[in-house]
Chains A and B, each alone.
Chain A
């Protein structure tokens, strides 16, 4: 187990290194952030001074070396625009994004799994067809359009939910969360649903496929032949086997929810970190871009690890092996 974790750790560090080089060189090639940020009235001399002060006059490998030295001591540099540590900027916005992502995931699971089970158990019933038709819509409608329609319907026409923002927050262990207040809940409902729509559809389809496959299997037929109650067959034998592919996909999707919720965050003006990366990219705020992507890589790696560990809980056949295969 220890050897396994060590190996995974080594892989992660290598990924981070390669990613940082790619991003660094990529941003360097795109353009000079000073040209985007500096006021039109500054003289060429002032422009040159600024470039020097930011170290942008150095060759790219020297700049990278400085970055690497800082990164090893936990300092990913200051944002050009905010003049504050890039990591701090991201962590400040992370709770809002995490809250949104987990709410969406929660909705995806609590709505998606039951509907998927229903559709899988009785595929020919009209309600099952309805569920499947809904899942196709959920897949194919673009998030930003659905988001705008939701605002139009719930906020503008019906006027029952707020159109944007995060609402009232309360501090839990120093972290501001909004799902504990009514105002906060009313604010998070639409963006979370918007983000969850695709996940719900995905979970429905995965669950349905898993359920209908499990229903064909020997062990389900045997369980039924033994006269076990239908309830127990569905919940213990069918559902548990359906969970394995679901865990993999949901794990990866969670990472994507956290890292790339930007469309929803923009439409609902959710103060999360997705907007930060977009602003950073348009202004070439390199420290923020780098820090953001490094955190994203780290997050995906951790989630993958948790997914692998979760397999062993659900499926006793899976063993984590530390030695070389």
Chain B
């Protein structure tokens, strides 16, 4: 008896609540399904996309990156390099924090100094973005001066990553922000509540300095499982989702009431080759030597890849073939560097020229849970190599195992994805291709090393003149691509699924920001 009535009650309860909930969904409230939970509400704690994306709803930097990651005035309206190592930032007048206090230069100084505090116990801190700053001083209430150790043309780019908090929070540890205390920014939405791995609630900031926010309340719900994310959009639990899996793009496009927004991304998928060791564990020519040291072999491998086919068949057309490491529109992009064409015949010729007419043995390692369809892409590339005469084996591993082993150089040929977080080329050229040392080339798992490249890159980092800097970065990019330091494969695309009553301005960094969602008229 108990069983029947309780089940009936539960069912009735469900029916009732959905009936009640339906008319309550006002147009001015927005629910967004996101793929990963932030691990902290401290915007200066951990350099990871999920945390930074959420922080951008609540906080601003002195400078913000726009949808294409180009720098735009935010809390600072203008900035200039006074001399090689001095920068001045003029603050915007009349900006109010969510607690009602006014923004002044003391807040900026305290926020920059707080980065060190927030870096304690951080799995990946923001310190790299503020290193090289020797002092920050408030010259007057509306002017901040930065002194740097050496010329740092990228200071504004780096500062676009640092959130500004009120000076009262300058000594607030991450733990208090995580408990919801002191999550105070200047952004379009105010922090209301956070349940880790579940929901984040925000509300409109009526005093926002920019364009008036469109939504009264915004709720972010975390759906780690991509099918669950799609289902919650279809069922109307949320109005919009991010990271639509390629397999579901067609469903959401054809389904009545939902639509897809795609946007090119700043993340390039690339292949890294051991070009340092004479004998490499997983790339062996007939005499046991490492064939990947020969630039002709590396070029041949690039020609053996049918980039368009990978995008069309595996990524469901969501991507763009890559011939370099940054997309068009970013400093360092070289117009003349086109993606290598698919030319297996030429590839075979190059292999023969390098002394491998019958190919060689290659084991290709890739992750299987880090990038969209990563293991499928690796398998496709492996098959293309085999067709070009390289005896290729594919091994895919979970990221927890893969990255550790790749860093220990246990592999010979690997696939990775790199995002240009600073909006210009040095942010990806440096980690991937600069000669490995204690202070450079952390992600250079192929140990590519070129003095000419290093010199051009270093020049690109230190020139204050934007045009000259762009030229130097282009030079570095060209050298590395001619050397096949890495093989760029394609740029991923970001996809959002949403109700067709909404529109979204996609971003190259893939962030899902409430201020980019509009009611379509």
With beta carbons under 8 angstroms apart, the residue of A82, A83, A164 that contacts B196 is A82
Contacts of A42 in B (CB 8 A): 124, 128, 442
B203, CB-defined interface residue at 8 Å: no
The answer to whether A81 and B227 have CB atoms under 8 Å apart is: no
Contacts of B427 in A (CB 8 A): 41
With beta carbons under 8 angstroms apart, the residue of A38, A47, A162 that contacts B235 is A162
A37's nearest neighbour on chain B, judged by CB, is B123
The answer to whether B221 and A164 have CB atoms under 8 Å apart is: yes
Please judge, given known A-B contacts A151-B231, A186-B13, whether A44 and B237 are in contact too, CB under 8 Å.
no
Which of these binds chain A: B283-291, B336-344, B430-438?
B430-438
A9, CB-defined interface residue at 8 Å: no
The answer to whether A266 and B16 have CB atoms under 8 Å apart is: no
Please judge, given known A-B contacts A84-B178, A189-B10, whether A271 and B197 are in contact too, CB under 8 Å.
yes
The answer to whether A148 and B121 have CB atoms under 8 Å apart is: no
Which of these binds chain A: B53-61, B394-402, B491-499, B507-515?
B394-402
Which of these binds chain A: B38-46, B80-88, B375-383?
B38-46
With beta carbons under 8 angstroms apart, the residue of B198, B231, B407, B418 that contacts A156 is B231
B158's nearest neighbour on chain A, judged by CB, is A41
Please judge, given known A-B contacts A40-B418, A43-B439, A43-B442, whether A164 and B232 are in contact too, CB under 8 Å.
yes
Q: Which among B16, B40, B121, B439 has the greatest number of chain A C-beta atoms within 10 A? A: B121
> What interface size band does chain B fall in?
35 or more
Contacts of B221 in A (CB 8 A): 164-165, 269
A202 to B15, CA, bound (A): 29
The answer to whether B2 and A110 have CB atoms under 8 Å apart is: yes
A268, CB-defined interface residue at 8 Å: yes
Contacts of B45 in A (CB 8 A): 83
Contact pattern, B 192-210, Cβ under 8 Å of A = 1, otherwise 0: 0001111100000000000
A151 to B422, CA, bound (A): 40
With beta carbons under 8 angstroms apart, the residue of A33, A36, A183, A276 that contacts B21 is A183
With beta carbons under 8 angstroms apart, the residue of A44, A164, A269 that contacts B436 is A44
The answer to whether A39 and B198 have CB atoms under 8 Å apart is: no
Contacts of A30 in B (CB 8 A): 400-401, 404
B3, CB-defined interface residue at 8 Å: yes
Please judge, given known A-B contacts A35-B403, A35-B404, A160-B14, whether A44 and B235 are in contact too, CB under 8 Å.
no
> What interface size band does chain A fall in?
35 or more
Contacts of A34 in B (CB 8 A): 123
Please judge, given known A-B contacts A37-B123, A166-B198, whether A44 and B437 are in contact too, CB under 8 Å.
yes
The prevalent SS among residues of A at the interface is helix
Contacts of B224 in A (CB 8 A): 266, 269, 275, 279
The answer to whether B197 and A44 have CB atoms under 8 Å apart is: no
B175, CB-defined interface residue at 8 Å: yes
State which residues 1-37 of B face A: CB under 8 Å: 2-3, 6-7, 9-11, 13-18, 20-21
- Closest Cβ of chain A to B126, distance in Å, is 9
The answer to whether B398 and A78 have CB atoms under 8 Å apart is: no
A32 to B369, CA, bound (A): 17
Contacts of B421 in A (CB 8 A): 39, 41
Please judge, given known A-B contacts A43-B442, A111-B3, A186-B18, whether A36 and B237 are in contact too, CB under 8 Å.
no
Contacts of A165 in B (CB 8 A): 198-199, 221, 237
A81 to B42, CA, bound (A): 12
Which of these binds chain B: A237-245, A280-288, A293-301?
A280-288
Contacts of A22 in B (CB 8 A): none
The answer to whether A269 and B223 have CB atoms under 8 Å apart is: yes
A315, CB-defined interface residue at 8 Å: no
A284's nearest neighbour on chain B, judged by CB, is B400
The answer to whether A46 and B403 have CB atoms under 8 Å apart is: no
- Closest Cβ of chain A to B149, distance in Å, is 15
Please judge, given known A-B contacts A36-B403, A93-B197, A269-B232, whether A46 and B127 are in contact too, CB under 8 Å.
yes
B47, CB-defined interface residue at 8 Å: yes
The answer to whether A32 and B235 have CB atoms under 8 Å apart is: no
B358, CB-defined interface residue at 8 Å: no
Contacts of B46 in A (CB 8 A): 81
A307, CB-defined interface residue at 8 Å: no
Please judge, given known A-B contacts A81-B123, A160-B15, A185-B10, whether A41 and B128 are in contact too, CB under 8 Å.
yes
Contacts of B443 in A (CB 8 A): 40
A-B contact pairs, 13 of them (CB 8 A): A31-B404, A80-B123, A82-B40, A84-B175, A92-B196, A110-B2, A160-B14, A185-B10, A186-B18, A269-B232, A271-B195, A271-B196, A271-B198
Q: Which 4 pairs show the lowest CB-CB distances between chains A and B?
A: A31-B404, A271-B198, A186-B14, A110-B3
B residues sitting closer than 8 Å to A (CB atoms) are: 2-3, 6-7, 9-11, 13-18, 20-21, 39-40, 45-48, 121-125, 127-128, 174-175, 178, 195-199, 221-225, 227-228, 231-232, 234-237, 369, 398-401, 403-407, 418-419, 421-422, 427, 430-432, 436-443
Query: A39-B128, A185-B9, A266-B224 provided; 14 other pairs, C-beta below 8 A?
Result: A31-B403, A34-B123, A36-B403, A36-B404, A48-B438, A82-B40, A107-B7, A148-B231, A160-B18, A167-B17, A182-B13, A182-B17, A185-B13, A284-B400
